[in-house]
Structure formats: C-alpha cells, structure tokens
Structure 1
Amino acid sequence: MTAAPSSPRARYREQTRADIKEIALRQLAEGGPEAVALTRIAKEVGLSGPALYRYFSNRDDLLTSLVRDAYDDAATAIGHTADRLPDSPREALHLLAGAYLDWASAAPHRYLLIQGSPVPGYAAPPDTVGRARAVLGPFVKIFSAGELTDSVSPLAGEMSTWAAQDEAVAGWLREYADLAPDDARAGTALAGTVLAWSALHGTVSLEVSGQYTGMGHSAKTQLTSQMNMLADTFRLA
C-alpha cells in the first residue's frame, strides 16, 4: 500500500495529480487518447499551462500514469474474484474471464488504453509488463492444475524454455502458482495462461469496440464457449 503524503504540500500535489487524471479520463472516454489535451486540462483544473508541467511533464507522462492505473485496477478486479474462487479450476476460469470482461465493459476507454499503443509513437514503460502479469497471475494458478495434451504441447515446450531463460517469468510462476521454472507443470501453466489471454483480448476488444453489434450473440456467451474449449483442452475439472 502506498503511504499517504505526509505534508500539506505533498497532499495538495497528490490531489492535484488526481484531479488532472480524472479530467483526462473524462476526455479519454469522450474522444479517445487523441482527445487528451493538456491545455484544456490546465484550464479546467485552474492551472496555467506551464504550471501543469510540474505535475506531468507531457501528455505521454500523463498517459503513462493512466496506463499504470488501468492495469492496477484490472489486477484489483481480478484479484477480488481470485480471492473467492471455487475449488473447480474450470469454474474458476469462467469466473476470472467474466470478471475481466465486466471490468473492460464498465470502462472501455480504460481497457482500450492498455490494449495496444494509445497514440502513435507512444512507448509504455517496462514496469507495465509486471502490471499486466499481475492481471494474469490468477490464470497461471488455474492452468497449473491442467494436463498437457498433444494440441498444446509445442506451445508448452516454448513456454518452459521461456521460464527457464527469464527470471521475471520464473518469479511470476513462483508467486502465483508456487512452481519452479523446471517443474513439469510450468509450461502447461504458462501455455494455458497465454491462450486464455489471447482469447480474452480477442473477445473483449471486439465487444468494447462495438464489432459484435447486430450479430445476435453476447460477448459473455462467446467467452464462456472459449473458456470451455480451453478447459477441455487442458482437462480442467
């Protein structure tokens, strides 16, 4: 937990940063990342243009803060669901996938901010990788209970190599599934997680961008079918 600012000046700074981000999120919801305008934000929050740069050095700096917040909020939403999962890995998978769809559907502008580059030329900082892994961590635990089948064996092999070569991935396995990278289940857990992530983003992206409109089905029903296929593939009970 982040410590509360200790002085009036620090508290004022944090409150002003929060106000700036709130306005930016509203602009984001109304017109996408391109609509985030520092001059308009400065006027609304009661600052001069130069004064605003004491809080965020440029638009990319502000977008980075919003990206980090979005990942953290998604991880919190998934974490709350993960704290009360049933014993059945299959049922748990459905609940986690549904929680992610619900989070994205409730704030599509925030989801789209973290799905790809928000504006041309923007590069997210390296720490967003860890934040994304926190969102997916509970899926690692679920798929660690899966069985390796022929259809996913090649992917699981590549995932095992990845875990053996990347300490951050090995730490991800240890934190969420209590698995060492050389554990036979490591590749299975990572393969299932990456496949679930791909299915989630495919369905959620199409849903929040309105691509399913008029197609006669709900994204939740489609996601249920996709998670059932994954559960069958990994023989999740």
Structure 2
Amino acid sequence: MRQEVKGAALRQLSEGGPAALSLNAIAKELGVSGPALYRYFASRDALLTELILDAYADLALALEGAPPTLADHAAAYRAWALAEPHRYRLLFSAPLPGYDPHDQSLVAAAHRAMTSLLTVTEPHSPVPGPLAAQLSTWSGAEPAVALHAVTAWSRLHGFVTLEIEGNYASMGLDPDELFRTFDL
C-alpha cells in the first residue's frame, strides 16, 4: 500500500507540482478512506519527505552508476533530471510553505549524491580562510576538491534547471548541442 500511495503521489507531483499533493485525493484514487492513509503516512509532509528521500536515493544511484569522470557524472545527473523533472524539482525547489527541507534525513540523502560527485572531482584552486574549514567539515574532502565539486554542481544545476523549464527552447537553442560544449 505504501508503494501505491507513493505512486499516486508521484503522479500528482508530475501533473501539478508539490501544491497538488493531497492525501484525500490519493485516498480517493486508491479507493480507500482518507484516514486509512494516515496508517501509512502521518501527514502530507511525511509523505513528501519519503518521496524526497526516494528521489535522492535514485539520483545517487544514477550518479554512482556513471563512469568515474566528472563529465559522465554530469551527463548522468542531466539524464536523471530530464527523465524525472517533477522529482528533480522536488529536490531543488521549496516544495511547500512551512516544509523544512533541512531535516537531517534529507541532508544526509543529499550528501550521498554529492559524495559521488566528490569522488570524481579534481582539486581546482586554493580555498581561502574560513571557507576551507567549512568545505572540509561539510564534505570530508580536501577543500579544493569540495570547492570544485560545489561550483561544478552549481553550474550543472543551473544548466539543467534552465533546460527542464524550457528556457533553451525559448531561446532557439538545442540543449543537447549546448551541453556538448558545457564546461565544468
């Protein structure tokens, strides 16, 4: 039943984004009462958290399955986002007013995906002062590696977000051709 609920929730997300997520609508779709769903998920936020954790796990698997180069990880990240735009948005947009995206379980799940990126990133440039300590604490990696991973991910995230939102199409640009020139 939990998987059926999550499947229905993912369909709602795909069709209308996080604001469309409704336990009562899911119950109706599955032919059960609304209160019956609360045996599986304590609240809409609990369901949302589980969907986010699942999405991070799937993204991490996609990255971990990529060949061990930054370019291949970037391609895997992009492919996952294009195949799962509603789940990508769930990870990187504020899902709902009042929802806490900094819950420790979510931070840990996000870190797994970033750890995969850290393993294929080379040191870039020296890191100044307090930022070096912050990067080292966050990543457990050499600060120059962590800085390159964060800046590469920032560029990649921007590229992919623009693509799934249709911005390149409105500019008349082929995102595949543009991605071939992408520099991390």
- Asked if Structure 1 and Structure 2 have the same fold, meaning a TM-score greater than 0.5 normalized by the shorter chain, the answer is yes
Matched, 1:44 2:26: no
Shift of 1:200: 1.4
TM-score when normalising by structure 1: 0.71
CA contact (8 A) 2:63 2:117 kept: no
Quick one: which amino acid aligns to residue 67 of structure 1? Answer: I
Shift of 1:32: 0.8
1:51-70 matches, within 5 Å, as: 51-70=36-55
Matched, 1:137 2:109: no
Shift of 1:224: 4.1
CA contact (8 A) 1:140 1:190 kept: yes
Judged with a 3 Å threshold, the aligned counterparts in structure 2 of structure 1 residues 99 and 44 are, in CA distance, closer, same or farther, namely same
Determine the structure 2 residue equivalent to 1:160: 132
Task: String of CA shifts for 1:75-133, please: whole Å, max 9, x gaps.
Answer: 0000111xx33xxxxxx111110110000000100000011211111112222112112
CA contact (8 A) 2:45 2:99 kept: yes
Matched, 1:189 2:166: no
CA contact (8 A) 1:200 1:223 kept: no
Matched, 1:116 2:93: yes
Which residue, out of 150, 166, 169, partners 2:139?
Answer: 169
Quick one: which amino acid aligns to residue 132 of structure 1? Answer: A
CA contact (8 A) 2:6 2:47 kept: yes
The structure with the larger Rg is 1
What is the rounded CA distance, in whole Å, between the counterparts of 1:223 and 1:66 in structure 2? 29
1:201-212 matches, within 5 Å, as: 201-212=157-168
Shift of 1:213: 1.7
CA contact (8 A) 1:42 1:49 kept: yes
Shift of 1:222: 3.4
Determine the structure 2 residue equivalent to 1:93: 70
What is the rounded CA distance, in whole Å, between the counterparts of 1:51 and 1:24 in structure 2? 15
Determine the structure 1 residue equivalent to 2:172: 216
Shift of 1:135: 1.1
Name stretches of at least 5 consecutive residues in structure 2 with no aligned partner.
Answer: none
Name stretches of at least 5 consecutive residues in structure 1 with no aligned partner.
Answer: 1-15, 86-91, 174-185, 231-237
Aligned residues: 183
Matched, 1:80 2:50: no
What is the rounded CA distance, in whole Å, between the counterparts of 2:109 and 2:129 in structure 1? 25
Kindly report the root-mean-square deviation, in angstroms, between the aligned alpha carbons of the 2 structures. 1.8
For the residue of structure 2 that corresponds to 1:139, the secondary structure is: helix
Quick one: which amino acid aligns to residue 161 of structure 1? Answer: A
Determine the structure 1 residue equivalent to 2:2: 17
Judged with a 3 Å threshold, the aligned counterparts in structure 2 of structure 1 residues 59 and 107 are, in CA distance, closer, same or farther, namely same
Shift of 1:147: 4.6
What is the rounded CA distance, in whole Å, between the counterparts of 1:47 and 1:126 in structure 2? 32
